[in-house]
Structure 1
């Protein structure tokens, strides 16, 4: 597998601490690593984000932070994926705790932070203000940029630590439901009961999930399960049959077939490919 290493100098001017790169859409790009930090906000579409063999399904509202220069990652199964890349040079920051807040806010068992619609909109406003400050003719642009980035980091921190924070728009129920699926993926999902819990109809659930994640509810659930299984294949010696059951599959053969369809490797091939010896 070819890995490309990207340098901070390729994306940032010598006197700048940040660069914001819209990807509309994100083009296919090989597995890579980089010596800068990267904050990613997904605006639309869906894909799978693979980090060192650990896969995570991403869609509108997904936020993640890459702060490990040794980490190799890429996107696969992109479907109209549009996102914003925020490139950060950690060596030029005066306020290093800010980067720690970003890292903590985006760290979770599912590999990402899921934010509601109004937080996406507020994030885009802050990033727009940062872009304006990049053009400031005085010496205080970087100070203002760190101030604005602090607002963004604290916004994400509050969403991470207070799940109901800022969820006041019409997609509140769907976002809470998605969070539950990400936490309860290994269990049998009764869609009717889940819809009753969040006071939405099955028809609305199907329509909203197509809008937000680009997948049907069952397809999205299967993708979560398969991505979680990739983590277990890489990081454990659990048998493939047990991994299938732990990730919510009742039939290990069905699991293996679906895994091969998604990752173009059997579970055993995937384990040999990514597991550290």
Structure 2
């Protein structure tokens, strides 16, 4: 079995005393599958890409939040102007562990409990806090370590509050995006018609399309296609379903067309993609 790249805490934390640090990636490049001996919160600030996470693949874009555990295998590909704020932390060594734990997903939480999204407008609330944490976490005196953890606690509380905030409290534009993302995520195996969606929700389709493109860097159709292909990648890696069954599960009536779209994105056919991961398991 092929070993993935391993990252170590001593290469990111400036001393053994420090328990939190920030790694900003203004131009995240494709990065191979890897794991590490620390935990991480990934905040997607802008752009988009494909995110491999254990046996799953997700399209990520502005506002996505991911809680990565130690030894999770993950990596990036097909990135497009992807900007990330990565907050690294040593979960078992935090001085404020008992309090911080209340605002983090459980270690045993499933993927869908550790991957969610906030409306991009909320990123402006997080930015000053992350900037202050980035500065403080590069100091190795005890006061700065404690302040870094206090700032980290503020960050995880704020993220939790945003997640729990009533949907009705969202501004009109961001509420429209929230409705659209929900509809897209529920349309993997079924056709999605933007005009019908907008008519049902009393939204102007052209203004929604412009809003979606400005926030994600993708068209609505492009995002849905990536989402469907990500699900197909996961099924190819984790099931023995036929190519035609996977195509149908991911919204493609024609398996030949599905294969053509898949190859255009990944530079390999679905069968070649599956074989590559089967070889790694042997």
- Same-fold call, TM cutoff 0.5: yes
- 1:113 CA displacement: 1.2
Gap change, CA 1:111 and 1:134, over 3 Å in 2: closer
Among residues 178, 187, 195, which one is paired with 1:192 in the alignment? 195
**Contact 1:118–1:169 (Cα < 8 Å) also in 2:** no
**Contact 1:259–1:266 (Cα < 8 Å) also in 2:** yes
Among residues 149, 154, 177, which one is paired with 1:151 in the alignment? 154
1:59-98 Cα deviation digits (max 9, x unpaired): 11111121132x3322111111111111212242131563
1:78-133 Cα deviation digits (max 9, x unpaired): 11111111121224213156357433599554973111133212222221232354
Q: Who is 2:60 aligned against?
A: 58
Counterparts of 2:131 and 2:259 in 1: how far apart (Å)?
45
Gap change, CA 1:240 and 1:134, over 3 Å in 2: same
**Contact 2:66–2:116 (Cα < 8 Å) also in 1:** yes
**Contact 1:41–1:84 (Cα < 8 Å) also in 2:** yes
Q: Who is 2:35 aligned against?
A: 33
Q: Which sits farther off after the overlay, 210-219 or 169-178?
A: 169-178
1:1-277 alignment, distance < 5 Å: 3-14=4-15, 15-52=17-54, 54-69=56-71, 71-94=72-95, 95=97, 98=100, 101-103=103-105, 108-109=111-112, 112-134=115-137, 139-161=142-164, 164=167, 167-168=170-171, 170-275=173-278, 276=281
Counterparts of 2:80 and 2:120 in 1: how far apart (Å)?
20
Counterparts of 2:237 and 2:131 in 1: how far apart (Å)?
39
**Contact 1:260–1:266 (Cα < 8 Å) also in 2:** yes
Gap change, CA 1:216 and 1:8, over 3 Å in 2: same
TM-score by length of 1: 0.87
Q: Report SS of the residue matched to 2:29.
A: coil
Counterparts of 2:226 and 2:110 in 1: how far apart (Å)?
20
Counterparts of 2:277 and 2:68 in 1: how far apart (Å)?
19
Gap change, CA 1:196 and 1:108, over 3 Å in 2: farther
Counterparts of 1:157 and 1:165 in 2: how far apart (Å)?
17
Counterparts of 1:215 and 1:170 in 2: how far apart (Å)?
17
Q: Report SS of the residue matched to 1:200.
A: coil
Counterparts of 1:272 and 1:138 in 2: how far apart (Å)?
51
Cα RMSD (Å): 2.8
1:175-195 Cα deviation digits (max 9, x unpaired): 331133123322211211211
